[in-house]
Amino acid sequence: MNAPIIGVTPSGGDNDLGVRAYAIAADYTMAVQRAGGIPVILPLHITEIDALLDTLDGVLFSGGGDIDPGIFNQETHETTGGIDAERDTFEIALMRAAFARDMPILAICRGIQVMNVERGGDLVQDIPSQTDSTKKHNQRAEGAGEHDIFQQAVLDDGENPVAKALGSGEIQINSFHHQALGTVPDSLKVVARGDDGIIEAVYAPDATFALGTQWHPERLAAQHAEQQALFDGFVTAAKDYANR
């Protein structure tokens, strides 16, 4: 049996020659690789989404800049930045098509926000000015390293793919975001929150495996087995998908 192949979405931006380039942190691909998957990086210009998904067994939505708030019918907040129309279009179409064929989905940071918006929810564009939260959500600004644990969240009891990897109760996570989920559609279930109420994880009960985390498990997975277990569960689901 061949290893499952996992498509990973990259960021887009101009390189130092002024040419548009796609880039992805190796932390993502290494976490997939440790789980036994073959990670490949998906160019954001692809428009033939179904032909692309025909070649894959799972999709990983990575972190990045903010989603255009016009997509969830909001005016752009002054702190919203890094909007990439090509990436928004590609990832929303990819999310929709992956759900439509029940392909396993792991959605990280911006990814959980794409999942929520595509399923019909919206976002808090700026946590400090638009919520009561006084917690810090950019750990680098607080002097923590990019591969360090920074804060905690509380995970629901019960049957859900996040708890399956991390156990229930208090979990140790990191934090690198200024936006968060706002309204969550009925098709997604919130399973983890910080003590400030910020949503840290959701999953789709009607899908075989579709979950999102607001934190970055790929930056912890090399050191923390429970974070790697999220990727292990995802790649196992992709293997099962390939055998369907």
- Please give the residue ranges that form the binding site for another protein (CB under 8 A): 2-3, 5, 7, 10, 12, 15, 17, 19-27, 29-30, 33, 38-46, 48, 51-52, 54-55, 138-141, 145-147, 176, 219
Q: Is 232 helix (H, G, I), strand (E, B) or coil?
A: helix
Nearer to another protein, 57 or 200 (CB): 57
At its nearest, how many Å lie between another protein and the CB of residue 191?
A: 25
Contact 208, 241 (CB under 8 A): yes
Nearer to another protein, 145 or 167 (CB): 145
At its nearest, how many Å lie between another protein and the CB of residue 48?
A: 7
In angstroms, the CA 202 to CA 55 distance is 27
Nearer to another protein, 41 or 83 (CB): 41
At its nearest, how many Å lie between another protein and the CB of residue 179?
A: 14
| Alpha carbons within 13 A on the beta-carbon side of 53 | 24
In angstroms, the CA 94 to CA 114 distance is 10
In angstroms, the CA 34 to CA 9 distance is 18
Nearer to another protein, 19 or 159 (CB): 19
Nearer to another protein, 44 or 192 (CB): 44
In angstroms, the CA 23 to CA 17 distance is 15
Q: Is 104 helix (H, G, I), strand (E, B) or coil?
A: coil
Strands (E), 56-97: 58-61
Contact 108, 216 (CB under 8 A): yes
